Amino acid sequence: MRDYRSESARLREIVSGLLERGEVELVVAWTEGEDRPRTRETLIGKGREDLLRKVVWSPFCTTSTVTFLKKNKAALAGKRLGVVVKDCDLQALNVLLQEHFLKREDLVIIGVRCDGLAEADLFPRPEGAEVPITSDGGGVTVGKQRRAWEDSGFTTCLTCSYEDMKPDHVVGEYGRKKGKPEWGHLARLQALEPGKRREHYAALFESCIRCYACREVCPVCACVECAIDPGERAITPRTAPSVKACAPVWACRERSVSENAVYLLTRTMHMAGRCVRCGWCERACPVGLPLMEILDLSNDAVRRVYRYEVGRDPADPPFLASYAETDPDDKGAGH
């Protein structure tokens, strides 16, 4: 049985020590507020005891601290940072380190071993900060309310097999045995005839409203400018031809099956060998598109055909930037 009060206390000790010793200038961690057990990413500096007291770790630390780093890269440039990461966060961080988006020497990584995440809205709000949050191999408990991992709201966690956490500091031990992911949800799609599969995806693409929430919430969608939506270099009548040539617009703003397909399929291609299956794109989608279904067709080919494990080691070359003559051809992808 994991007791997250004791693990949170240990995490606060590590964060406090790093700040006091001057090993980092700031730490990105999760904190609790009055809406416990819900948490949020918080930037903590030396002397902020008010924030340090609120630092926590539990299955309700669902948001990504790496997404916080991605969005605030410019503001945090040049600073020595500590960052608290769970398993999928560390995978995402490793992807960004592989691509030199962040520098390893600028980071002190504090890992918290994760058995799975839980949606706070599925649990009654606990009365007081002393109500314990615990978990075991079967599920998570808040006070007297218990839910199985299968009913916790984060289904992607059920197929997580990542156990290679090698941070600078680590908190907790795994309480749930992780196995190799079984992606049986793809069998139905792979069995469809091409025409039926085309109809299935046309209906999906038509529903997209192009709000780009999936891109914004993704921890590894970190391009300075999105090829599909070049908002920073908007093309106007005054834009020089040389700039236009360097910033092509691959999809217009029109909401149609074809334009939406360009966006979603281009993003899927860019995520090959980079998606850590955190599932936040699907959770953020306001129209409930099964985005992990699309991504997992690519993820499965990367894993099964090319034997590439995403985000295992920051020293590994990125999937799309590596090639070997021993690579299999793409006929085995089956998608």
| 22 & 147 share domain | yes
CA distance 237 to 77: 34
Neighbours of 156 (CB within 10 A): 19
- Higher-pLDDT residue of 255 and 24 is 24
pLDDT score recorded for residue 298: 87
Quick one: average pLDDT of 273-279?
93
Same domain, 225 and 153: no
Same domain, 191 and 309: yes
Summarize pLDDT for 18-33 with one digit per residue, the tens.
999 999 999 999 999 8
11, 158: one domain: yes
How many structural domains does the chain have?
A: 2
Q: Rounded to whole angstroms, how far apart are CA atoms 188 and 177?
A: 27
Beta bridge partners of 30: 41
Map residue 61 onto helix, strand or coil: coil
Instruction: Using the 3D structure, point to which of 137, 171, 205 is the last residue of a domain.
Output: 171
Domain residues for the domain of 147 are 2-171
Are residues 167 and 20 part of one domain? yes
Sheet strands side by side (includes 133-135): 2-3, 133-135, 139-142, 145-148
State the pLDDT at residue 241.
77
- Does 194 lie in the same domain as 164? no
Q: By three-state DSSP, how is residue 140 classified?
A: strand
For residues 118 and 150, give the distance between their C-alpha atoms in angstroms, rounded to a whole number. Answer: 10
- Tell me the pTM: 0.89
Among 109, 138, 171, residue at a domain's last position = 171
Give backbone dihedrals phi and psi of 115, rounded to 5 degrees, phi first.
-95, -15
Point out the domain boundary residue: 171, 194, 212. 171
State how far the alpha carbon of 209 is from the alpha carbons of 64, 134, 253, 263, in Å.
24, 39, 10, 11
DSSP state of 28: E
Question: Looking at per-residue confidence, does 325 or 237 come out higher?
Answer: 325
Contact 292, 277 (CB under 8 A): yes
pLDDT digit string (tens) for 39-69? Answer: 999 999 999 999 999 999 999 999 999 999 9
Do 160 and 44 share a domain, yes or no?
Answer: yes
Question: pLDDT by residue (tens digit) across 70-80?
Answer: 999 999 999 99
Residue pLDDT, tens place only, 205-229: 999 998 999 999 999 998 877 777 7
179 domain residue, yes or no: no
Which segment of 64-78, 125-139, 178-192, 255-269 scores lowest on mean pLDDT?
178-192
Q: Specify whether 58 is located in the same domain as 193.
A: no
